[in-house]
Copies of this chain bind each other. A is one copy, B any other.
Amino acid sequence: MNELPFTYQAFLSGAEISLERICADLVDQHRDKIQIKKEKLAARNMFRIVSAVISLSQKKGFQGMSLRDLSEETGMSMGALYNYFGSKEELFEMIYSQGRVFVFEVLRSHASDDNPDVRLREAICAHLYLSEALSRVFSFFFMEARNLSLPNQKNVINLEQMTESFFEDILQEGKQKGSFSIESPEMIAAAIKALLQNWYLKKYRFSRRKLTVENYARFVIGFVSSNLR
């Protein structure tokens, strides 16, 4: 049995991993565009909005979700909604960019060991645990990434490319230090990313098998490790 660098519980205890947290940051970051003065109220309602967006997008896609759907789901009026964003497109960009910042920060803070071998396992665990806690958010990002507008795509790097580069860097360093005996770090990185995405995209399958995220982490680490030596 593979040893995990940290448990799911320890991961959750370390920092606040929640959509509420992301929404609070979002309100803080977009203070100028949000016309609600009271910060606590703004954060609370933004959470209702973002939750509804993710839920509705799961059913019919972001484009297929109307603002009237959003109004009904949140219990807020159309007019009230527009105090929290300038346009439907801007709402998407806000959610995406804030989520991306959050994911990157969490990944970076958990996978920091000097040893590439350890750091790789840390990164796999951190990503799996994070996507477990925020599975709906991750699925939303994956499925709706194409809604990013082109001018912003220069500033907002695709979340997926960021993730893959993160793993590729670890593998590259491990290769140079002699920890890993691999041909192509980018191919292994792509494979790891596919296995990680599989967890949150097909979560309903795994939960039906009563498979915990920790056991899946052990499986992925084992599966990948067989190809590093």
B-binding residues in A (CB < 8 A): 58-64, 143, 146-147, 184, 186-187, 190-191, 193-195, 197-198, 202, 205-206, 209, 219, 222-223, 226-227
Give the docked Cα–Cα distance between A195 and B226 (Å): 16
Contact A205 B190 (CB under 8 A): yes
Contacts of A147 in B (CB 8 A): 60-61, 64
Contacts of A198 in B (CB 8 A): 190-191, 193-194
A/B interface sample: 10 pairs, CB < 8 A: A58-B146, A60-B146, A61-B146, A63-B64, A64-B64, A64-B147, A190-B202, A194-B195, A194-B198, A223-B227
Contacts of A226 in B (CB 8 A): 226-227
Query: A63's contact among B60, B194, B197, B223, by CB below 8 Å, is which?
Result: B60
Give the docked Cα–Cα distance between A160 and B143 (Å): 16
Contacts of A59 in B (CB 8 A): 146
Given A61-B62, A63-B64, A64-B64, 9 extra CB contacts under 8 A: A61-B64, A184-B219, A187-B219, A190-B198, A190-B206, A191-B195, A191-B219, A194-B194, A195-B195
